[in-house]
Amino acid sequence: MTSTHKQECISHVNELCTNPEWCLVLSKILSNLHNRYYGEWQDVIVQKWERFSYDIYDAFAFGNVWAWMCLGEIVCARIYLGSEPGKDHDEKGNNDKLQRGLSEKLFNAIFCGGNGDSDGYLDVNEPIEMDMTNLETNEHIIKSVAGRFPLEVGYTEGSKTIDHLRSEMRLARWPYYSKEIYLLKKIHHWSETIDFKLDGKELL
């Protein structure tokens, strides 16, 4: 069963692809994803099951989040945990890793897995600095952030990443094979659903 956020992404991309220029942009991003051009950030934004390959809808979702990052619309931070996540059904094991790896004063987290809106949550108990550099202006943006982040562990859809950043404006990601948790915080609300600009395609 296809989720609402995935259906929305598919519909949006199918409409965009009536424009040949959009087809070229998304094809470039898709090629970059297959070549691991974006490094570790690929798995933060969209991580596919190993038997599946990236498609044009993944390219669109990734391109949105990547463009927001490059333009300083998202600030980020990393938490070194020291352990990679276990399988989704290993609720106790993943919670043990979170409790051992996180500073009790600064953070607490709960992993519950399953098919809910998220895999749990991560609380930032005291403000931490999250930052990003706007690659167009070279402005270094720093924000002090605290509060609850929805937690997504392991494989995830790019459209789900967008959905979290659109609704909660924040996300904690713990991808498979990573010993770090990545925090993403969207700075501004936006009225459009999901769209990056063709004039920013050189960032992609």
Q: How buried is residue 149: exposed, middle or buried, by Cβ count under 10 Å (0-12/13-18/19+)?
A: buried
Tokens of 38: 């974006």
Q: Are 5 and 157 in contact (CB under 8 A)?
A: yes
The tokens describing 105, both together, are 């004063």
Core vs surface per residue 71-81: b (16+ CB within 10 A) or e: bbbbbebebeb
pLDDT single digits (tens) 98-127: 999 998 889 999 999 776 678 999 999 999
**What three-state secondary structure class fits 71?**
coil
CA dist 130 and 75 (Å) reads 5
Q: What is the pLDDT of residues 2-51, one digit of tens each?
A: 678 888 888 888 888 899 988 999 999 999 999 999 999 999 999 998 76
Cα of first residue to Cα of last residue in the chain, in angstroms, is: 30
Contact 46, 29 (CB under 8 A): no
- Give the global pTM: 0.90
